[in-house]
Amino acid sequence: MLRDSNEEIGHITTEDEVAKLRKGLLDDAESLGNVSEACRRFGLSRSRFYIYRRRFEEHGIKGLENRPPVHRHHPFSKTPEEVKELLDLSGQHPLWGCDKLSAVLKEERGVMMSSPVVQKELMRCGLGRQMQRLRLFEKNVPGPDTKVTKEQKKAKEKVNPRLLEQKLKEPRPGEMLCQSTVLVGAVEGMGKVYVQVVVDTSCCYAFAWLHTCRTAGHAVRGVEEFVIPWYRECGIKISTTLTHRGTQYSGLKDRHPYMRCLADNDIGHDLIWDYFRTNHGFIESFKRTLFSELGPDFWLDASTTIERLQADLDPWMDRYNNQMPVDGYPNFGDPPATVLERLLEEDLKGPLES
């Protein structure tokens, strides 16, 4: 009844009446000589009584009035100009953390902002995580011909691993297909589950099929059943496949199933140029999209089978290829099928114009 809130005072609204009522509590306790009894009569706790008594001793009757509410915003919050300086700096250097941003703001731009405040302002703008800043940076610097620093190039490659492969000089459809085996996880009753992925580097068009053994036979099965027939139907010749150096993809040409499959279909084979890289940038980017769109519940359901998983994966692959926008190089927001159709139209126009 006597706390610092006008709503809990009931019909008492003026500050004078509130202060007089609380002063009556103090007087009642003094006359009774029993604080507990006075608090019981007024419906108040002993701790609250001692708070009022201390405030009365320090400030008199004014100390018993309701205090003003706490500010919702700190009176020394940063100005819009200072926040703009922060966003501009973090936009140029998305890999920098809060400590580095705070130090550079102080030294180079004269803005005093501690690292916790930097984090708070970035979170308020939806840029609290490094990956959020990286994605914004990639949108602001989209073109492959845009001049960027070495640090900014590293930032773009971190958010979009496909940028590592820009040296491919805009391959045409079917010119370079990346293939790799990606571990999904261990499912009870099936063991480890893998997804075999093939991505066209010209447009990010992808194929995926599931299996439970990491062997060359599973790598060959999808290529023969899905990839080669689809490209033949579209009238596209597959020139080369690019894989890592695993035993599923490399061996003696006349004995290894995968090498023999490529030779029979007149398809070349290259290995990833960097010995220490296990996957191509296009594979890494597709893997991120696959696992972010389809969470652990999709893959690790104990009651499922490999056939049921594949049946659920196929509609998602169709949506990815035909509807889902792919940000950054080389699609820049277009779905893979749209980019593929555009490249095929360009290839048809070329001979006609010449």
Residue 158 lies in a domain: no
Residue 69 lies in a domain: no
Domain co-membership, 322 together with 214? yes
**pLDDT value, residue 327:** 79
Picking from 23, 38, 64, the residue at the C-terminal end of a domain is: 64
Residue 163 lies in a domain: no
Comparing 136 with 96, which gets the higher pLDDT?
96
Give SS3 for 178.
strand
Residue 8 has pLDDT above 90, yes or no: no
What is the average pLDDT across 76-85? 84
Angle between helix axes 35-42 and 46-59 (nearest 10 degrees) is 100
* Cα–Cα dist 231/28, whole Å: 94
Domain co-membership, 213 together with 334? yes
Place 335 in a pLDDT band, splitting at 50, 70 and 90: very high
pLDDT digits (tens, 9 = 90+) for 201-213: 889 999 999 998 8
pLDDT digits (tens, 9 = 90+) for 107-145: 998 888 999 999 999 999 888 888 788 778 777 765 555
**pLDDT value, residue 2:** 45
Domain co-membership, 344 together with 242? yes
Residue 70 lies in a domain: no
Domain co-membership, 135 together with 176? no
CB atoms within 10 A of CB 47: 8
Place 316 in a pLDDT band, splitting at 50, 70 and 90: very high
- The H or E element that residue 338 is part of is helix 336-353
CB atoms within 10 A of CB 309: 20
**pLDDT value, residue 165:** 57
Q: Which of 265, 270, 162, 143 minimizes the C-alpha distance to 206?
A: 162
Comparing 285 with 280, which gets the higher pLDDT?
285
Domain co-membership, 87 together with 232? no
Residue 125 contacts residue 137 (beta carbons within 8 Å): no
Domain co-membership, 117 together with 258? no
**pLDDT value, residue 134:** 76
Residue 160 lies in a domain: no
Domain co-membership, 197 together with 234? yes
Least confident window among 235-239, 258-262, 279-283 = 279-283
Comparing 340 with 277, which gets the higher pLDDT?
340
Residue 75 lies in a domain: no
Domain co-membership, 198 together with 342? yes
Least confident window among 5-14, 33-42, 74-83, 86-95 = 5-14
- Judge if pTM exceeds 0.85: no
Domain co-membership, 97 together with 32? no
**pLDDT value, residue 191:** 84
pLDDT digits (tens, 9 = 90+) for 48-72: 999 999 989 988 888 888 887 766 6
**pLDDT value, residue 5:** 42
Residue 308 contacts residue 330 (beta carbons within 8 Å): no
Comparing 225 with 11, which gets the higher pLDDT?
225
**pLDDT value, residue 147:** 64
Comparing 103 with 280, which gets the higher pLDDT?
103
CB atoms within 10 A of CB 341: 15
Range of the domain at 42: 6-64
**pLDDT value, residue 6:** 41
CATH of the domain at 343: 3.30.420.10
> Which residues, at least 6 apart from 25, have a Cβ–Cβ distance to it below 8 Å?
2, 38, 39, 42, 44, 49, 52
Q: What percentage of the chain exceeds 70 in pLDDT? A: 81
Average pLDDT, the chain: 82
Place 350 in a pLDDT band, splitting at 50, 70 and 90: low
What is the average pLDDT across 295-303? 71
Residue 346 lies in a domain: yes
Domain co-membership, 206 together with 318? yes
Residue 163 contacts residue 329 (beta carbons within 8 Å): yes
> Which residues, at least 6 apart from 255, have a Cβ–Cβ distance to it below 8 Å?
none
Tally: H helices and E strands in the chain: 15, 5
Domain co-membership, 289 together with 348? yes
Domain co-membership, 97 together with 231? no
Total domains in the fold of the chain: 3
Give the Cα-Cα-Cα angle 225, 226, 227 (nearest 5 degrees).
115
- For 211, phi and psi rounded to 5 degrees? -160, 170
* Cα–Cα dist 115/121, whole Å: 10
**pLDDT value, residue 103:** 92
Picking from 19, 40, 64, the residue at the C-terminal end of a domain is: 64
DSSP code of 227?
Answer: I
Place 237 in a pLDDT band, splitting at 50, 70 and 90: very high
Place 246 in a pLDDT band, splitting at 50, 70 and 90: confident
